[in-house]
Amino acid sequence: MKRIGMVLLGLALSTSALAFDTYRVGARLVRVGDGASRLMEVVGEPAHKEPLETRGGGYVGERWQYRLDGKTVTFTIRDGKIAAIDEVRD
């Protein structure tokens, strides 16, 4: 019985972070594969930019974070394009 409770608790906690292939901002969409310039056009300047590096310190991309509708939305940028979209509800 304890095990089932732990599994249910784990599932409930894991739903606070979501990953998407598209993200709607008003009437406009951005998608994985869109260019970083398209993201800037639709959403604007990010609140925070964080470089992504290999273990050896080589640059591989950036994470751009936005505060949108009470959520933190992170776009991972690689090779100038959106590689991933993640949302965390605060």
pLDDT at 2: 56
Q: Which residues pair with residue 76 across a beta bridge?
A: 63, 84
> How far is the C-alpha of 50 from the C-alpha of 27, rounded, in Å?
27
pLDDT at 90: 75
Q: For the chain, how far is it from start to end, CA to CA, in angstroms? A: 31
11-15, long-range: CB < 8 A, 24+ apart: none
pLDDT at 16: 57
Inter-residue contact 28 to 42 (CB < 8 Å): yes
pLDDT in tens, the chain (90 residues): 555 544 444 544 444 567 889 999 999 999 999 999 999 999 999 999 999 999 999 999 999 999 988 899 999 999 999 999 999 987
pLDDT at 49: 97
